[in-house]
Copies of this chain bind each other. A is one copy, B any other.
């Protein structure tokens, strides 16, 4: 899948696609850089395996020393790569790993590479085919916790920059790294650090490789993410569980009341009924509409994969749009009364529902949370008491599709992988991305190398080797392409 490189001054790459063949020109110095990468593939893989052996699970207090050791190892690796000013920035929790290589000149753009060296817990261990912290190559994939999320992806950029430095070439852009150790447990230190808009990580683009492709065959650049906000609702009825025979018919049942509230949160067209919920949502551009129209999708296959009778959602929008650019309100959990085996004939004392709203550009999480809470209180029946507890949230992100970084990333992906590249907005949320854009006044470029089949957060997490090597190439080509844009 990697581009085949000739030794000529001007390299001509012919990429086979269903689309017409394009001729892409890469300047001479890239020949050396990409050659270096090719020659060092095995060493890069061996180093990544060392990186992956650290059990840097940030959600588990007991493993905090291991998280620190992992950060130190990464810093050392970056120093050995030739990256400069490497340091561990101390925080209240896990250190941020910083490094830079600023030799392109003031007139060239600066890219900040963000990622994380912490990983998800490995449970349930029984379901792994090989030990989660003893990485193993099988069938062209590297298996292990953190391979795709996010150590493997972070490492592509470290190795790409190393390829420039060790080849004696200049990447053409100024490069900074900020790699955090707490992304899987709230990004609190990263958030604190960003709140000061630190000049140390000022940049013209934020490059993030922590997303997945649209499909195994279609590479994608993510330029939008939904935001998120949540509420927990507690409907409070009688001061104790009551016998449903003795008291049934006497008072409101909190579970029935909660179901009544929830059922009023959508209308018959699948729209959220909270007043003002859709106010101000940014309309799709013609380019975005064309993008959606061009993406392959089958509702029947989608439903079949999930084993549901049919797709469902807001009327007037296709499934791909509904799961990415339209806001939603979903119950994540609900409970009340007796939930064990068999029956217990009670009227429960209370009932609880947990819900999240996914929001899109034009919506703000605090506003949507407040509106939803107000509406729920307004429609709550007078027969019960109600508590509405807010959860933390994050705003949606949309990066300009015409930013130089996005264009460079698309070209880099296309060249490195020889695949069609599409621009997508994802339904999930990475709240820190919006903060990066806001505090550094720079657009995010989400050039991810993962696949949906990589089992991130699950047993048997993997990273395709061609995506690891292709990712290093893509990162190098990105730097080269981005260097051609004006600052």
* Whole-angstrom CA separation of A9 from B343 in the bound complex: 56
A331: Cβ under 8 A from any B Cβ: yes
CA distance A260 to B240 in the complex (A): 26
Asked if A247 is at the interface of the complex by the 8 Å CB criterion, the answer is yes
A447 to B412, CA, bound (A): 87
Which residue of A226, A249, A266, A351 has the most chain B CB atoms within 10 A of its CB atom?
Answer: A249
Which one of A126-134, A146-154, A421-429 is at the interface? A421-429
Cβ B308 vs Cβ A237 within 8 A: yes
- Find A383's partner among B263, B312, B427 (CB 8 Å cutoff): B312
Which one of B246, B335, B343, B384 lies within 8 Å of A309 (CB-CB)?
Answer: B384
CB <8 Å contact, A339 and B343 = no
- 27 A–B pairs (Cβ distance < 8 Å), ordered by A: A228-B345, A237-B308, A238-B308, A239-B307, A244-B328, A247-B306, A247-B427, A248-B356, A249-B313, A249-B323, A249-B427, A250-B306, A250-B311, A250-B313, A258-B259, A259-B259, A259-B331, A308-B385, A331-B348, A332-B343, A332-B347, A333-B339, A333-B348, A334-B334, A334-B337, A339-B354, A345-B356
* Interface contact A303-B251, CB-CB below 8 Å: yes
How many identical chains are in the complex?
A: 2
> A103 at interface (Cβ–Cβ under 8 A)?
no
Determine if B245 and A226 form an interchain contact, defined as CB atoms under 8 angstroms apart. Answer: yes
Q: Give which listed residue, B246, B249, B313, B345, contacts A314 with CB less than 8 A.
A: B249
CB distance from A350 to the nearest CB of B (A): 11
Alpha-carbon gap, A356 to B244, bound state (A): 8
**Shortest distance in angstroms between A274's beta carbon and chain B's nearest beta carbon?**
14
Q: Is the CB of A382 within 8 A of B246?
A: no
A27 → chain B, closest Cβ, in Å?
A: 39
Instruction: Select one of B246, B331, B338, B354 contacting A428, CB under 8 A.
Output: B246
- Interface of chain A residues 333 through 377 with chain B (CB within 8 A): 333-340, 343-348, 351-354, 356, 358
- Judge if A302 is at the interface, Cβ distance under 8 Å: yes
Q: How far apart sit A381 and B302, CA to CA, in the bound complex (Å)?
A: 19
The reply to whether B323 and A247 contact each other, CB–CB distance below 8 Å, is yes
Contacts A335-B335, A344-B332, A347-B330 given: A306-B246 contact, CB under 8 Å? no
A248 CB contact (under 8 Å) in B248, B353, B358: B358
In the bound complex, residues from chain B placing their C-beta under 8 Å from that of A300 are none
B245 touches A428 (CB 8 A): yes
Among B228, B232, B251, B334, contact of A335 (Cβ-Cβ < 8 Å): B334
Asked whether A252 is an interface residue with its Cβ less than 8 Å from the other chain, the reply is yes
Shortest 3 CB-CB contacts between residues of A and residues of B: A245-B428, A333-B337, A249-B322
Q: Is the CB of A345 within 8 A of B313?
A: no
Take A250-B319, A322-B250 as given contacts and tell me if A344 and B333 are in contact as well, using a CB distance cutoff of 8 Å.
yes
Within 8 Å by CB of A245, from B344, B352, B358, lies B358
B262–A245 contact, CB under 8 A? no
Residues on the B chain within 8 Å of A473, using CB:
none
Q: Which residues of B contact A319 (CB under 8 A)?
A: 249-250
CA distance A306 to B350 in the complex (A): 12
**Is A339 in contact with B335, judged by CB distance below 8 angstroms?**
yes
Partner of A259, one of B252, B263, B384: B263
A163 to chain B minimum Cβ distance, whole angstroms, is 33
Q: Is A242 an interface residue (CB 8 A)?
A: yes
**Other contacts beyond A248-B328, A249-B323: 15, CB < 8 A:** A238-B306, A250-B323, A252-B308, A256-B263, A256-B265, A259-B259, A259-B334, A262-B263, A263-B263, A308-B385, A312-B383, A332-B337, A332-B345, A334-B335, A338-B354
Q: How far is the CB of A451 from chain B (nearest CB, A)?
A: 13
The answer to whether A157 has its CB under 8 Å from any CB of chain B is no
Given contact pairs A256-B262, A344-B333, A382-B310, A328 touches B249 in the complex (Cβ within 8 A): yes
- Cβ contacts under 8 Å, A313 to chain B: 249-251
A326 within 8 A of B: yes
> Which residue among A232, A255, A348 has the maximum number of chain B CB atoms within 10 Å of its CB?
A255
Report whether B306 and A239 are in contact in the complex, using a CB–CB cutoff of 8 Å: yes
> Measured between alpha carbons, how far is A92 from B260 in the docked complex, in Å?
46
Judging by beta carbons under 8 Å apart, are B309 and A382 in contact? Answer: yes
Q: Which of A264-291 contact B (CB under 8 A)?
A: 264-266
Complex alpha-carbon distance, A248 and B313, angstroms: 9
